[in-house]
Amino acid sequence: MTNLTRIENLDCLPRDEMRVLLESYTPEDAECLFIRARKVRERVYGRAVYLRGLIEISSYCKNDCYYCGLRKSNQRAQRYRLSKEEILKCCEEGYALGLRTFVLQGGEDSWFDDERLCDIVHEIRRGWPDCAITLSLGERGRESYAALFEAGANRYLLRHETANEKHYQSLHPEELTLRNRLRCLRDLREVGYQAGCGFMVGSPGQTVDCLLDDLDFLRDFRPEMVGIGPFLPHGDTPFAQEPPGSPELTLLLLGIVRVLLPGALLPATTALGTASPDGRERGLLAGANVIMPNISPARVRGKYMIYDGKETRGMEGLQGRVEGLGLEITNVRGDAIELE
């Protein structure tokens, strides 16, 4: 089978054929895939690019993931947490800029217990009833997810990180398990959230087989959103000396996921934009349809350092760059479109 036929039959490609594509794609194959991915996106979502205002609410974390700069063992991380007032102010400013989704992301910080978080979510829901509220606060109990949903949250981002058990264990300390991560994702879905998962490309120890496991998992779970970005090393983690993941392979996987899950919301991630200066634009050209400008307060910008060099771009210049690609920024909530 030529790679071209592989791309045409992507949705029903046997694992071995997909392996060959991932291992031996040419730039021409990638281009061909991106054309296909753009067609699929256009069919489902037209030219729309959805914006999500990212508010990084806490850099405290009780976990010790080997890849992340916010891991609890990193004594050099700058820790902060936003107050409720600061978070509400971000929403107010974001709304004025046209944003209709707010994403509250943070490390696993026990200070943000259900009571405090539900109060914040409730206030946002009350103040901006036409907006979607997305949470990305890691692993919690089902009851907690349910309480936050009740308070008004609509979506939850929890990357599965890798769907391969062995690989998962090599990226995390023993107490963090793929099993629990997937339990969380299933709970989120059952509670009623639009669920987002995702993975890093090129994380240490990742093989092509791990990526095939990720694709199998996505096909099976069919998340509403998928975040895919290259692994980027952070100097104060055990993975400081590991090489970064490839932006090209990240783009290829974005294109593949667009074709496999036509209705998925796919961000051109911050990591992709950090790994390559025009990474976000290339992400949109590969099939992504979401951008998450950072709207965290100035006092904490640059302190949510999950990897070195993380860019903190907000809305500046975004419109022009998106229109330059023949796409358009829209100010609607942008919920996932359900397909048959």
> CA 299 to CA 287: how far, in whole Å?
34
* 225 residue type, one letter: M
Q: For residues 69-83, b (16+ Cβ closer than 10 Å) or e, as one string? A: bbbbebeebeebbbe
47 or 79, CB closer to ligand SAH?
A: 79
Is residue 187 within the footprint of ligand SAH (CB under 6 A)?
no
CB of 55 vs ligand SAH, minimal distance in Å: 12
Interface residues for ligand SAH in 17-56 (CB under 6 A)? none
Of 5 and 207, which has the nearer Cβ to ligand SAH?
Answer: 207
CB atoms within 10 A of CB 257: 24
Give the integer Cα–Cα distance in Å for 40 and 58. Answer: 37
Q: 3-state class of 229 per DSSP?
A: strand
- Which 3 state secondary structure label does DSSP give 316? coil
- CB-nearer residue toward ligand SAH: 232 or 260: 232
Q: Which stretch binds ligand SAH (CB under 6 A): 185-193, 230-238, 249-257, 260-268?
A: 230-238
Nearest distance in Å: CB 7, ligand SAH: 27
- Please tell me whether residue 329 adopts helix, strand or coil conformation: strand
Q: Nearest approach, Cβ of 129 to ligand SAH (angstroms)?
A: 26
List 29, 161, 187, 214, residue binding ligand SAH (CB under 6 A): 161
90 vs 184, which CB is nearer to ligand SAH? Answer: 184
Q: 290-291 and 328-330 as β-strands: parallel, antiparallel, unpaired? A: unpaired
* Residue 309 Cβ vs ligand SAH, minimum distance, rounded to whole Å: 10
Q: Please, are residues 72 and 64 in contact by the beta-carbon 8 Å criterion? A: yes
The amino acid at residue 309 is G
Q: Is residue 234 within the footprint of ligand SAH (CB under 6 A)? A: yes
Helix pair angle (247-260, 27-45), 10° resolution: 40
Site string (64-83) toward ligand SAH, x via CB under 6 A: ---xx---------------
Write out the residues near ligand SAH by the rule CB under 6 A. Answer: 67-68, 105, 107-108, 136, 138, 158-159, 161, 200, 229, 231-232, 234, 271, 306-307
